[in-house]
Amino acid sequence: MRYTSLKDFLTRSGKILANSPVALIFVEDEIEVASTLRHHLDAGFATVLVFMPATFDLPDDLSPLLHRIDTDTLAPDILTSTVNSLIKSAPGTWFFYCYNAEYLFYPFCESRTVAEMLAFHTEERRDAMLCYVIDLYAGDLDLHPNAVSIEDAHLDKSGYYALARPDPANYNHPRERQLDFFGGLRWRYEEHVPAPRRKIDRIALFRAKAGLELREDHTFNDEEYNTFACPWHHNITAAVCSFRTAKALKSNPGSTFDIHNFRWHNATPFEWHSRQLLDLGLMEPGQWF
């Protein structure tokens, strides 16, 4: 189904958003659109909404499985305004959001669906899940000048760290069970990345409720949603494996000529398997075995 705008979708969609969980995929360019959509359909999302410019094409075999919404995805604040409109329209629904050339991985995702994981997470009285955005990049930029290659994808196996998140309303004391996470390309090339965009944490999985709002820094106005665990034990975390930063660094005139190769001594080929991410400590199963 195709819609001319978000307003058109909300007017005609009926009870589509009740089919939870819902994936929201924002297509900014035409790189790896099909692989992104297929990955999240295979993960078991009940509903997939694709926000993309009207001039972009979708593969014919995917069109019947998706709800396409024509959108200027490069417009200012488009992600937050869209997500917040959908939150108001579907309280109680689990949502996930990402961009094209980004891929959700969670513990045991090869044999368990995202709906199974969120059912367990809900039983633990959690309404949101911390995700780490793990930068992917092509191993050979001469062969792949846009830094994107599914077959030759690499990631950093170390260099990740966390800092306490200060609370301005409490004399900048650390917030409880909240941290700012850093690493990957945004750490190694931080001189080319604005300070507010260097964090790699994103609350990409969450359950909508009345009054909830997504903020520009990928956190929510309900601080409990921004925590990495509940007070009594560790919870599941997930990873969004993303070529987005690599694409930006190689397409930006201010950085592209300074970068000849993203690989370094801590680079390793990405295996496209949750076990590798678990072994590297880039996500946790919590109490889910």
Range 112-124 average pLDDT: 97
- Sheet holding 2-3: strands in order across? 2-3, 67-70, 47-52, 22-26, 94-99, 201-207, 128-135, 238-242, 102-105
Run of H or E residues at 26: strand 22-26
Domain boundary among 71, 100, 129: 100
Domain boundary among 100, 135, 151: 100
Q: 89 with 111, same domain?
A: no
Dihedrals phi, psi of 167, to nearest 5 degrees: -110, 105
Range 129-148 average pLDDT: 97
What CATH number does the domain containing 19 carry?
3.40.50
Q: What is the pLDDT of residue 260?
A: 94
Report the C-alpha gap between 135 and 194 in whole angstroms.
Answer: 16
Q: What is the pLDDT of residue 276?
A: 98
Q: b/e map of 172-200 (b: 16 or more CB within 10 Å)?
A: eeebebbbbbbbbbbbbbeebbeeeebbb
Q: Which residues pair with 95 in a beta bridge?
A: 22, 206
Range 217-239 average pLDDT: 96
Q: Which residues pair with 267 in a beta bridge?
A: 156
pLDDT band at 13 (very low <50, low <70, confident <90, very high): confident
> What torsion, rounded to 10 degrees, do the Cα atoms 120, 122, 126, 128 define?
90
Cα atoms in the Cβ-side hemisphere of radius 13 Å centred on 176 = 7
Share of the chain above pLDDT 70, in %: 100
Range 17-24 average pLDDT: 96
Q: What is the pLDDT of residue 267?
A: 98
Range 176-186 average pLDDT: 97
How many domains does the structure of the chain reveal? 2
Is the peptide bond between 91 and the residue preceding it cis, with omega within 30 degrees of 0? no
Q: What is the pLDDT of residue 57?
A: 93
Reading the block at residue 62, the tokens are: 């995917």
Name the nearest CA neighbour of 220 among 78, 87, 27, 74. 87
Domain boundary among 100, 123, 150: 100
**240 pLDDT above the threshold of 90:** yes
Report the C-alpha gap between 168 and 224 in whole angstroms.
Answer: 16
The tens digit of pLDDT for each residue in 53-111 reads 999 999 889 999 999 999 999 999 999 999 999 999 999 999 999 999 999 999 999 99
Q: 200 with 68, same domain?
A: no
**8 pLDDT above the threshold of 90:** yes
**CB-count burial class (<10 Å; 0-12, 13-18, 19+) for 230:** middle
Model pTM score: 0.96
